[in-house]
């Protein structure tokens, strides 16, 4: 099931998305005692994370209720301004009591492939004996080229059917990244895209209404097997739908 949530502007998108995501997380904690949440990088999530942080801090959740993971990471130090961990640390995690959550950042180390394998082992500890990690919520962004996480057009990771986490050198960015693979994303209970700005309108249109071609529009590969797919869009990004 795919649901599209449209908002007039980035501020109302952040308010609406944080309310929805916060409630989904609180509900899951009530049901299972813990919520496993995958965070997106980039710049779009910042406003939503800031509101989500205050929401979760005030929800009266018990210590250890939340586990945060990353959908992808740039191979930079965790305190680098480009780090997706740093974004979440600044906008979300600092607002939460330290005992409320565990955070599991992706780290490339000296060899990205080894970093990917190490992260996969970390995930396997959270999801023992599972074929794929059943995250409760995966938050994703969308690039203007249709990429999501670090699944870029033409990426070999789009064909991955075994690994949960993989490393890829992104030529157009001249850098290495780690990313969850499509099956690891699609095993989630809920996947939520956060997309804002006119610069994304073409990609939103192509991903949601264009020919099915994930090699060209990687975000099309996100189809939760047994889960919900939500798109949170401001009007500027949704204008061509
Ligand atoms: C990253 C993200 C990436 C991001 C999109 C959108 O590491 O950059 O995971 O997939 O979500 O590129 O980025 P913006 O939100 O900055 O437009």
Task: Pick the atom of ligand 1 nearest to 149's CA.
Answer: 10
Q: Which numbered atom of ligand 1 lies nearest the CA of 200?
A: 17
The CATH number covering residue 113 comes to 3.40.50.1360
Q: Residues 112-142: pLDDT tens digits?
A: 999 999 999 999 999 999 999 999 999 999 9
Query: What's the confidence (pLDDT) of residue 174?
Result: 87
Residue 116, domain member (yes or no): yes
In a domain, 224, yes or no: no
**Residue keyed to tokens 């910042």:** 46
Tokens (6 digits) for 212: 């099915």
Indicate if the pLDDT at residue 20 is higher than 90. Answer: yes
CA trace torsion 46, 154, 209, 190 (10° rounding): -50
Q: How far apart are the C-alpha atoms of 72 and 83, rounded to whole Å?
A: 10
- Residue 35 confidence (pLDDT) above 90: yes
Ligand 1: nearest atom to the Cα of 140? 11
Judge whether residue 204 has pLDDT over 90. Answer: yes
Residue 114: the pLDDT is 98
Counted domains in the chain: 1
Instruction: Tell the residue nearest (CA) to atom 13 of ligand 1.
Output: 42
Q: For residue 74, which atom of ligand 1 is closest to its CA?
A: 7
Q: Is the CB of 83 under 6 A from ligand 1?
A: no
Residue 13 backbone class (left: φ over 0; alpha: ψ -120 to 50; beta: rest): alpha
Ligand 1 contacts CB of residue 41 (under 6 A): yes
Say if ligand 1 is within 6 A of residue 40 CB.
Answer: yes
The rounded Å distance from CA 31 to ligand 1 centre is: 31
User: 235: how many CB neighbours lie within 10 A of its CB?
Assistant: 17
CB 75 within 8 A of CB 173: no
In a domain, 186, yes or no: yes
> Is residue 11 assigned to a domain?
no
Which range of residues forms the domain containing residue 65? Answer: 17-213+234-238
Burial class (CB in 10 A: 0-12, 13-18, 19+), 72: buried
**Ligand 1 atom showing the smallest separation from residue 45 Cα:** 15
Protein residue with its CA nearest to atom 8 in ligand 1? 42
Please give the residue that has the higher pLDDT: either 173 or 187.
187
**Cα(41)–Cα(84) distance, rounded to whole angstroms?**
5
Residue 50 falls inside a structural domain: yes
153 within domain boundaries? yes
Compute, in angstroms, the gap from residue 143 CA to the centroid of ligand 1: 6
The H-or-E segment that residue 51 falls in is helix 45-57
Ligand 1 atom nearest to CA at 44: 15
Tens digit of each residue's pLDDT (9 = 90 or more) over 42-93 = 999 999 999 999 999 999 999 999 999 999 999 999 999 999 999 999 999 9
Q: Check if 43 has its Cβ closer than 6 Å to any atom of ligand 1.
A: yes
Half-sphere exposure of 77 (CA within 13 A, CB side): 3
CA 98 to ligand 1 center in whole angstroms: 26
The residue whose C-alpha atom lies closest to atom 12 belonging to ligand 1 is 143
The values of phi and psi at residue 175, to 5°, are: -160, 165
Does ligand 1 lie within 6 Å of residue 181's CB atom?
A: no
């Amino acid at each position: 099931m795919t649901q599209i949530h449209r908002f007039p502007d980035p501020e109302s998108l952040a308010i609406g998305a944080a309310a929805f995501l916060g409630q989904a997380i609180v509900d899951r904690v009530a049901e299972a005692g813990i919520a496993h949440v995958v965070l997106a990088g980039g710049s779009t999530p910042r406003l939503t994370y800031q509101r989500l942080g205050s929401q979760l801090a005030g929800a009266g959740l018990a210590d250890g209720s939340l586990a945060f993971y990353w959908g992808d990471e740039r191979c930079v130090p965790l305190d680098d301004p480009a780090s997706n961990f740093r974004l979440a640390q600044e906008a979300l995690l600092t607002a939460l009591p330290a005992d409320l959550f565990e955070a599991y950042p992706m780290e490339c180390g000296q060899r990205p492939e080894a970093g990917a394998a190490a992260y996969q082992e970390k995930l396997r500890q959270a999801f023992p004996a599972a074929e794929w990690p059943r995250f409760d919520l995966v938050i994703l962004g969308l690039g203007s080229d249709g990429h999501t996480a670090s699944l870029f057009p033409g990426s070999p990771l789009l064909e991955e059917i075994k690994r949960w986490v993989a490393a890829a050198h992104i030529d157009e960015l001249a850098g290495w990244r780690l990313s969850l693979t499509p099956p690891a994303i699609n095993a989630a209970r809920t996947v939520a895209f956060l997309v804002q700005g006119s610069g994304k309108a073409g990609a939103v249109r192509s991903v949601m209404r264009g020919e099915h071609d994930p090699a060209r529009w990687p975000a099309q590969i996100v189809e939760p097997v047994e889960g919900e797919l939500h798109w949170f869009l401001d009007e500027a990004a949704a204008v061509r739908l």
